[in-house]
Amino acid sequence: MSERPVRPFVQQDDAFRWSGVELRTYKEEGAAPYRDVTRQTLFSRADMRGELRYFEIAAAGHSTLERHRHAHAVMVLRGRGEVLVGEQVHAVDAFDLVTIPPLTWHQFRAAPDAPLGFLCMVDAERDRPQLPDADALARLRANPVVAAFLAGSYTPR
């Protein structure tokens, strides 16, 4: 839990950058399960069960393909992209809502020429994400729509 003092008002200094909120940049690593993703935690309080974060995926970037017991409630705020939820791929842009149910494979991809920024509400206490093993990946790829998404082929709509 954050022990930072409560600040009743936080200004947006720059587009999608909030004053005094740490910008966490995920770095690409060997397996590179994500690419070009930043996170800002906007609300986190010991007396609330939820946290609200703002994620931004740069153009052509993507989040980790993962699943976990906790759910996500997402509102897109910026740009456009696609999201995989289970076996479904949805094109998303500003103000679309996405719910990721428990134990459902999910991944966000920004469009090739636009970022994808979104609010994500989660339980403050949550389990660690699981990554797909080879069998899970094979099952996902059995669906051609999902296979195309995982291969990074973006379908503009």
Looking at residue 57, its amino acid is: I
- Indicate which residue of 120, 122, 140, 150 is catalytic: 120
Q: What amino acid occupies position 16?
A: F
Residue of 54, 146, 152 whose CA lies nearest to 109: 152
Pairwise CA distance, residues 67 & 129, whole Å: 6
Concatenate the DSSP letters of all residues of 26-52 into one string. Answer: PPP-SS-SSEEEEEEEEEE-TT-SEEE
Distance separating alpha carbons of residues 118 and 57, to the nearest angstrom: 9
Element (H, E) at 98: strand 97-100
120 is catalytic: yes
Cβ contact 129:64 at 8 Å: yes
Q: Which residues are catalytic?
A: 120
